[in-house]
Chains A and B, each alone.
Chain A
């Protein structure tokens, strides 16, 4: 059954004791893109990944990964996917090179091929100098890179990345992101679990927001933001003395109340329409109120997230 979907999951449930870690998750992940699963700690992201990667058997529901059932055809799934877990799943007591050779051998390469592949990957991931060092002496960023390298000893069709940048400094994080982009550029589908809104926004083509074991929203990052509503025009004046007047003008121009920020010279107004916002700014400028800066900001995924997960109705239901 050829399908354009890399992952089709319906009604996945997994309980640990009395806790329903995953409570009826449906996913439709298209091939060849990055699909983000966004949620706070303990939302059930890792459990979803572990079920899809055949490490956990679902209590209920079913899923097909690249056309194969995750329970009945688990072995076929394992042959096509790779997993980079939340804990860097590399062996501390081996060197970086030995880790990669080990995986190469396990994936069916001869010893010679496995060595060649290991050296190729070490060079590609900037680990050549560290190749002979024990992994326990690696920095966090090096471990992550080795971890990702270990996941592509054989280039997978689908890669599960569970919080790949948790605990990394910004530079290492950008390196991991570049690797993910390059991987997707080669046609690999990536399922990315993350608690960083920024990361999902940067990498993912579609996002499922998950909270308390349920998908509470799904769509492109742009659509998720739009669903929360509008952006805002932020204005900062040269001094506080004209703020009240500016607030009046902006409120009138944009038909909505301006909010005064903590900064005595700054204010912001929700906007639906960028055109009208730019006219309002021009009006302020013509009135000579002394504009220091202005910006039109999209709602951040943070706001999306709060709006979706911190909804009072949700808490009442729980």
Chain B
């Protein structure tokens, strides 16, 4: 006569202990992640944040959408004779405005990471030290592309008809995104200097607002008083708007493009190392 062993179902506690021991017993250490792989992983993190917190994209998209609608239909006729004509002038500018405001969020996100402590974990990992920064800024370029697409699509619906067609519009978007890449290093620097995410947001918007308005986004600078016109002329945002407009109209000159690209490069050359330096010394 066989006595069947009474099989007891494992208690939940035992099962949990077993799972814990399995998890802890894995001791093989994978090879270190390379710099590019680490940076791209941080870019991936940025994407997921957009997916989970789409509000951060809405914030920076709704304002330009309102600006686009308001300026076109309210002031368009007065400024340019007709709303449709003004839209052709305004849209590349609004595109620039949208993407540049999105840049501020690079600094806000970095500051948030620091105040929440997650940066401590990243900094204690055996990875290429600037990877979190480079990855975040790379990930942000995808946000810029999304925001740019929203503006361009709305423009097309409203009657924006660029002479250079799809190619010109895409080239303009790429140029804006490249410039934004450079500018976002300014805001990561600000993000490391300020005490709270909202301080970064305020500082960013306070700096950008005058620069945006004192540019050629909304009006032709030749109608402005001399001193103001001179300022608008040297404002890099004006250079970017002009080059983008010209790309979309199919009349871009190599000189205008070179100016914008060199400004983007200069911003990166100054502020990327500064960001990395501040990040390392964040003690």
**A71 CB-CB contact with B under 8 Å:** no
Contacting pair B121 A117 (CB below 8 A): no
**A86 CB-CB contact with B under 8 Å:** yes
> Which of B21, B24, B119, B124 sits near A152, CB closer than 8 Å?
B24
> Which of A79, A83, A124, A152 sits near B121, CB closer than 8 Å?
A83
Binds A, one of B38-46, B140-148, B236-244: B38-46
In the complex, residue of chain A having the shortest beta-carbon distance to the beta carbon of B125: A106
**A105 CB-CB contact with B under 8 Å:** yes
> Which of A92, A108, A117, A134 sits near B31, CB closer than 8 Å?
A108
- C-alpha spacing A95/B49, complex, angstroms: 10
**B127 CB-CB contact with A under 8 Å:** yes
**Number of inter-chain CB pairs below 8 Å:** 122
Within 8 A of B (CB), among A53-94: 53-57, 75, 78-79, 81-83, 85-94
- Please tell me the size bucket of the interface on A: 35 or more
> Which of B17, B33, B52, B120 sits near A93, CB closer than 8 Å?
B52
Contacting pair A155 B27 (CB below 8 A): yes
Query: Which chain A residues lie closer than 8 Å to B29 at the CB level?
Result: 108, 154
- C-alpha spacing A107/B126, complex, angstroms: 7
- C-alpha spacing A105/B117, complex, angstroms: 20
Query: Which chain A residues lie closer than 8 Å to B49 at the CB level?
Result: 91, 93-94
**A113 CB-CB contact with B under 8 Å:** yes
Query: Which chain B residues lie closer than 8 Å to A182 at the CB level?
Result: 17, 20-21, 24
Contacting pair A75 B126 (CB below 8 A): yes
Contacting pair A53 B30 (CB below 8 A): no
**B22 CB-CB contact with A under 8 Å:** yes
Contacting pair A78 B121 (CB below 8 A): no
Contacting pair B24 A85 (CB below 8 A): no
What would 20 more interface pairs be, CB under 8 Å, given A102-B44, A182-B17, A186-B24?
Answer: A55-B120, A56-B283, A85-B120, A85-B121, A86-B117, A88-B117, A89-B117, A89-B119, A94-B48, A94-B49, A95-B52, A98-B48, A107-B126, A109-B30, A120-B22, A121-B23, A124-B19, A125-B20, A125-B23, A186-B27
| Interface positions of A (Cβ within 8 A of B) | 50, 53-57, 75, 78-79, 81-83, 85-95, 98, 102-103, 105-109, 113, 117, 120-121, 123-126, 134, 149-150, 152, 154-155, 178-179, 182-183, 186
| Interface positions of B (Cβ within 8 A of A) | 16-17, 19-27, 29-33, 37-38, 41-42, 44-45, 48-49, 52-53, 113, 116-127, 131, 283
26 A-B pairs whose Cβ atoms sit less than 8 Å apart in the complex = A53-B124, A54-B123, A54-B124, A55-B120, A55-B124, A55-B283, A57-B283, A78-B125, A78-B126, A87-B117, A89-B117, A90-B118, A92-B116, A93-B48, A94-B45, A102-B44, A105-B33, A105-B44, A106-B127, A107-B125, A108-B30, A108-B32, A124-B22, A134-B52, A154-B30, A155-B24
